[in-house]
Structure formats: C-alpha cells, structure tokens
Amino acid sequence: MKLTGKVAAITGSAMGIGAASARLLAEQGAQVAIGDFDLGAGEQTAAGIRAAGGQARCFELDVRRADQVSAFIEQTVAAFGGLDILVNNAGVVVAKSTTDTSPEEWERVIGTNLTGAWLCARAAIPFLIRRGGGAIVNVASNAGLVGFPNLAAYCASKGGLVQLTKAMALDCAPQHIRVNAICPGHTRTPMGDSFIAAQADPAAFVRDFINVQHPLGRMAEAEEVAQAILFLACDDSSCVTGSILAADGGYTAR
C-alpha cells in the first residue's frame, strides 16, 4: 500500500470526488479525516471506510470559516497523531455570467474554492512541517485553465487556485512539502449531475458538449479523478511540485 502510516485530511469529502478520494486513500493505508458541512453524508462515507477495514473520522467543516478550518486540522491531528496529506477538494459552482452573478454568490464561490484552500493550507502547513514534509493536493478544474461562458466566479476561483498552487509550491519546497493541483473536467458527481440538470436541454448538453468536445468522448468518474489525486499525494510523485495535472478527458489539449 502506498500510504501506510500516513494521515490525510480531505475537505468536501462527504460525496463526489472527495468521498472517492477518501475511500481510495484509506484503501492505500492512510488514516483519513473527512471534513464537510454535511455531517450526515460525511459520517456515512466514514462509516463505509471503517466497514471496509480502513480508518476514518468525520468532522464538521465550512472552509470559509477560519475557526472551523483550524478546528478541523487540530481535530485530525488529535485523532490520528499527525498530518501528512491535505486534499483541498471543497468546492461550489454558480452557473451565471459576469453581470448575472451577485456579490453574495461571488463571495461564496471565491470563499469556498479559493480562500478556503488557502485557509486550510495555512492551518495544515505547520503540522506537515512537524512530520518532516508532506503533500498538498488542490482540486482545481479545467475551468481554471480555459474560460467557460456563464461560469465567471467559478473560472476566477479555479484560475486563482492554479496560481496559488504554484506560489505555495515555491513557498513550501524548503520544508519538503509538495504542492500540486489536479484539474478535472466534467465528472460524474452530485455537483456535476446537478449542473447538467440545470441546462436548458440536458441531453443536448451531454451529447454536444461532454461527448463531442471531450476527446475521450465521455465524462470522468469520481474514482478516476481520485486515482490522480492519489498519485500526487503519494511518493510516486516524489519529484513533482508546482505541477498542474489536467484530468479532463483531453478537453484542454485542443
């Protein structure tokens, strides 16, 4: 197993990519802290990991709140004895144009997707240093690499997260902390499914956007994205930092 003896904190991990990552990292030997504002779903994910023989705990977390972020990291360390891996996965999307996005919606998206990742990293880094180093994986998006219509706040937040990843990698390299980002494309998750459902013609969106404009001809599964997160979290990527890995079915290769 690739993560035996490691402790991983994963934000937004009650469902979707975060839950798939929690299950996979636990299968690879990590003790996993699930952080999410949906405690019910988070507890279900943790219980499933424990039922499969892994170790997991769930803690309440709104990544926009510095006090809850600090508590989440401290609870993780108290529960498992340290911290080696942080996966910044918590994210929200508002499907609106620049002018249609309200200030409140803008603040919620930027606060969750960008500021939240910074707050979590800021709280986690001292504990990673205590372990002699570690890994931070930021879950960005292909919307952080190219623009999309009617996703102004989301594109801004994920583009900022890509650049934050590079800056953090430079800041943290002397402490042997690797910082990388993964940029998924459209992925089969509850958030991804709700985005499709909100389209004027969901069937046409899948046919014309997902199946045609993604060279692999399909959306990703959460478990596939989790495999890429595992790679960046474990020693298989021991010489990789400041890297932005697109896992988007080839969308940004065009």
Q: Which residues form the catalytic set?
A: 154
The Cα 145–Cα 119 span in angstroms is 22
Place of tokens 């998006």: 141
Q: Is 95 helix (H, G, I), strand (E, B) or coil?
A: coil
Q: Is 47:19 a contact under the CB 8 Å cutoff?
A: no
Q: Which one-letter DSSP state was computed for residue 219? A: P
Alpha helices in the chain (DSSP H): 16-27, 39-51, 66-80, 103-110, 116-130, 152-172, 190-197, 202-205, 211-213, 222-233
